[in-house]
């Protein structure tokens, strides 16, 4: 069955007229949502801890900033954009005791609703607008008159206006310029976690690391190994983004294509391991492991973060990336976005 997709004409901004939208958190997504909605004419307040460093960033952009309890008490729509591991504490301590009767609760990822860490009462509409891109791109594309596509879902709809609110929010974000695909909290959460763990992060990162180590352990120069297993990856991904797997294949040499077709590195045993990982996502055991570790102060997370920050490939990577003059513009944009995101990520509501 074809996916249901909504576009610009399907959203009505008047649905949000006279309503206050509270954006909880001012990180990568938070700043983009707050600024885009504000520029679309929506009445926005940002909810933050009074001592959060993000307060100054938000005020510099001309946004109204209040504490999370204050913002929640006056909002008709509350979009929770703090990191997954902090959301349930913010909900329990600051939002739930102050939320208006019937106020809508929104998310950009289904994690806490799907796994039951947050359970709004039945009188609250619950919806999701999840951009398929980082916050700085959501903001950049909106400012350029374009948009980043989103997936949207409604979990609770007590009044029957849940989809109207969802599509109005998506339009104010600029997302309907690109399109909004209907999903569910369950589907978005499970596919998002699977994609991150088994393809985008846990797949590609480890594949690159393994390829680099196999070549260098066989005596090849690290610089040459880096070019072959890491640097050229962007070219291939860009081709996939433009025209799918077929364009990526057809744009490479016959030798490369043939090697692709006969490769057995990723095979049915890989799919079996992926199915195992998907099972852990579906039954909630991954979520529990992650949240339990975070609740304990994130010892395992910090240990792994430290370990993988010192992979051998990154001993040669910075030197070679400095050679790519044609990337310097993009690198500067990325560094600026990372700097901004890094500053505000440490200062988000916790």
Q: Which residues are known to be catalytic?
A: 109
7 is in an annotated binding site: no
Give the alpha-carbon dihedral of 78, 84, 88, 94, to 10 degrees: -50
338 is in an annotated binding site: no
Determine if residue 26 is labeled as part of a ligand binding site.
yes
For residue 101, say whether it is annotated as part of any ligand binding site.
no
Annotation-wise, does 276 bind a ligand?
no
Asked if 56 and 122 count as a contact pair (C-beta separation under 8 A), the reply is no
Contacts of 56 (CB under 8 A, 6+ apart): none
**Main-chain dihedrals φ then ψ at residue 297, nearest 5 degrees:** 95, 10
54 is in an annotated binding site: yes
141 is in an annotated binding site: no
Q: Cα(52)–Cα(122) distance, rounded to whole angstroms?
A: 32
**Which residues partner with 322 through β-bridges?**
none
- Answer yes or no: is 213 a known binding residue: no
Q: CB burial class (10 A; 0-12, 13-18, 19+) of residue 298?
A: middle
Q: Token pair 């703090």 is at which residue? A: 82
Give the helix/strand (H/E) hosting 342: helix 328-346
Closest to 203 in 3D by CA, of 281, 271, 256 = 271
Binding site members for Mg(2+): 192, 196, 228, 232
Binding site members for substrate: 253
Binding site members: 26-29, 49, 52, 54, 135, 192, 196, 228, 232, 253
């Amino acid at each position: 069955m074809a996916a249901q997709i909504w576009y610009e004409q399907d959203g009505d901004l008047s649905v949000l007229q006279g309503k206050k939208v509270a954006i909880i958190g001012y990180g990568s997504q938070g700043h983009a949502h707050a600024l885009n909605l504000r520029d679309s004419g929506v009445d926005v307040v940002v909810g933050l801890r009074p001592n959060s460093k993000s307060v100054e960033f938000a005020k510099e952009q001309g946004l109204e900033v209040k504490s999370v309890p204050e913002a929640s008490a006056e909002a008709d729509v509350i979009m929770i954009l703090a990191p997954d591991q902090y959301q349930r504490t913010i909900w329990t301590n600051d939002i739930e005791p102050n939320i208006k009767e019937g106020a809508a609760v929104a998310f950009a990822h289904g994690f806490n609703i799907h796994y039951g860490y947050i359970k709004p009462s039945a009188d609250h509409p619950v919806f999701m607008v999840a951009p398929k891109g980082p916050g700085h791109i959501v903001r950049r594309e909106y400012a350029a008159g374009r948009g980043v596509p989103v997936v949207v879902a409604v979990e609770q709809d007590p009044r029957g206006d849940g989809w109207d609110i969802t599509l109005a929010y998506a339009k104010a974000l600029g997302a309907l310029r690109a399109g909004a695909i209907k999903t569910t909290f369950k589907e978005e959460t499970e596919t998002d976690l699977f994609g991150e763990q088994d393809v985008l992060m846990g797949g590609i990162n480890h594949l690159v690391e393994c390829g680099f180590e196999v070549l260098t352990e066989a005596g090849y120069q690290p610089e040459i190994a880096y070019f072959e297993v890491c640097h050229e990856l962007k070219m291939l991904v860009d081709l996939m983004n433009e025209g799918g797997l077929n364009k990526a294949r057809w744009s490479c040499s016959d030798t490369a294509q043939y090697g692709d077709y006969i490769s057995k590195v990723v095979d049915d045993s890989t799919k079996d391991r992926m199915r195992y990982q998907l099972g852990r996502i579906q039954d909630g055991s991954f979520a529990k492991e992650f949240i339990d570790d975070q609740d304990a102060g994130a010892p395992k997370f910090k240990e792994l973060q430290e370990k993988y920050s010192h992979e051998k490939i990154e001993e040669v990577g910075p030197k070679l990336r400095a050679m790519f003059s044609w990337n310097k513009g993009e690198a500067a944009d990325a560094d600026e976005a990372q700097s901004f995101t890094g500053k505000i990520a440490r200062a988000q509501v916790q």
